[in-house]
Structure 1
Amino acid sequence: MENSSKLNVLILAAGLGTRLRPLTNDVPKPLVPVVDASILDLQARKARAIGNVRLHANAHYLAEQVVAAGETLGFEKVWVELPEILGTAGPLHRIYAAGYRGGLLIMNGDAYCDFDLKKFVESAVARASLENGPQVSLLAVDFPQVNTFRVGVDGRLAGIAGRFGATEGAPATFSGVSWYSDEALSRIREGEFDIREFWKQELAAGRAPFVDMTQLHATWIDMGSPEGLMAAVEARLKELGRDVNEAVVEPGAKIPAGVTLKHSVIYKGAEIQPGETIVNEIRGKGFKWNVPPTPVY
């Protein structure tokens, strides 16, 4: 499988989606529709915009649906993780051990973002080519509610608050987007689960990952909660040039006569009464969530 002409891209899609249940009882979170496409689809489009890439995803919960979507979207492979999920480090080791080369870009299957991925990867590759250059790059955002990263004056990861390393340094939040050289991937051991433990090992060995802080204020939305899902819908509507207060109705959802919809998302199976007014809601089979518009600061 030795082939370094293409960048490998892994979209993490194995999560259980517990914060979005019961919406995710029947569909895995990466396949939840966000206006016109799933996050898996949207992330794949952003990855392909980099250029010459080979797409991968991992899958665990409702894995057969992710496998089918990967085939439809033209993925190289969907790596099913059964009976147990392998964390983040496990899938990275698995791809490298299978012989894939050319570096690996990691993306999350539950994040809506507008990062310049090509710029990120090109910068990461350039840094890695330098003498003693960092072989791992982590893309950061400014998210004050989290901001657990501590970044040293050299731009490298100095620690993670509450876990390891320095308590001082520039604060930032990991976006879930990262790049690993083949050299770095070769050091992830079989059975390793938590990627943060690998970062800790790299830091201790004098090979701390670089933290790219050039896109701190790009759009980055964790769509794993009802509020995040609504924010992702708003962002997608804006990206499509549509009104962010528009109601979005999944194909197949039944809307009775006389219903008024505004700033709402209606999924298949939603129970709606004739003449009902629905505002600031996400509604589907067996649930309805009240979700106000995302605040604008």
Structure 2
Amino acid sequence: MRPPLMIFAAGLGTRMRPLTNTCPKPLIKVAQQTLLDRALKLGRQAGLHPIAVNSHYLPGQIAAHLDGTDVAISEENDLLLDTGGGLRAALPMLGTGPVATLNPDVVWTGRNPLAALANAWDDRMEALLALVPLERATARVGGGDFDMDCDGRISRKGDFVYAGAQIIRTERLTEIPDKVFSLNRLWDLMIADGTAFGLIHDGGWCDVGRPDAITQAEAMLADD
């Protein structure tokens, strides 16, 4: 199964200031390559198609960067919709089946997380989240997000960090009446039904959310 891919590129990048005062965070470079290009490379290597990217903050720079490519842009010009609202707004570009989503402000080493998720997906699942143990979550600030049982089902509060990549069914997006909402709302519904699962990423992972994390990510890549 090779689903379409949604890359979340609309955020304000407040934690990355002052670098994001004049540049959207997805266009910040790590080891001479933009975070957005790194995300697109993962999607293409995994064979995911079509690919959509949302935009809101400094959208002209995102559009110019993607000009001439086959990547669709879901524009959130008037209102930043958060992950749930943003995914729902992009569905006309992505179809009605399961969709892979990716946060571009993460650098990975090891196996391609999107390919690993696609290979592990099965019909029991409404969501399959890439997870990394807290002790291997480079540049992470704060605790873990989830626990996981022996069957791979996830629950809230544990020592696994959501790594920023997943495959998720989109039918339940219609159950959320709000225009702006997080995919956490869907995850909670799926966790309650036992249909949310986790997959541990066994390579390196770095949260590039702050300027100082760029150096940490580049060091991780150099050691790979």
Please report the TM-score for the alignment, with normalisation by the length of structure 1. 0.66
Q: Paired residue for 1:226?
A: 211
Q: Paired residue for 1:64?
A: 60
Relative CO higher for 1 or 2, CA cutoff 8 Å, sep ≥ 6?
2
Alignment of 1:13-52 (within 5 A): 13-52=9-48
Q: Paired residue for 2:117?
A: 120
CA displacement, residues 171-222 of structure 1 (integer Å, 9 cap, x when unaligned): 3111010002xxx201112525111111112233x24311112x2x421111
1:137 to 107, 123, 128: 128
Q: Does structure 1 residue 149 correspond to structure 2 residue 146?
A: yes
Q: Does structure 1 residue 186 correspond to structure 2 residue 158?
A: no
More helix by share: 2
Larger radius of gyration: 1
Give the CA deviation at 1:49.
0.6
Distance in 1 (CA, whole Å) between partners of 2:102 and 2:221 is 18
Give the CA deviation at 1:81.
1.1
Q: Does structure 1 residue 11 correspond to structure 2 residue 2?
A: no
Alignment of 1:232-243 (within 5 A): 232-238=217-223
Q: Paired residue for 1:271?
A: none
Distance in 2 (CA, whole Å) between partners of 1:120 and 1:46 is 12
Q: Paired residue for 2:189?
A: 201
Structure 1 regions of 5+ residues with no counterpart? Answer: 162-169, 240-297
Q: Stretches of 4+ moved more than 3 A in 1?
A: 235-239
RMSD: 2.2
2:159 to 142, 153, 171: 171
CA contact (8 A) 1:6 1:102 kept: no
Distance in 1 (CA, whole Å) between partners of 2:79 and 2:105 is 20
CA contact (8 A) 2:6 2:102 kept: yes
CA contact (8 A) 2:107 2:208 kept: yes
Give the CA deviation at 1:45.
0.8
Letter in 2 for 1:134: M
Letter in 2 for 1:63: P
CA displacement, residues 57-111 of structure 1 (integer Å, 9 cap, x when unaligned): 1111111111221224x24311111222111111221233556245311111211
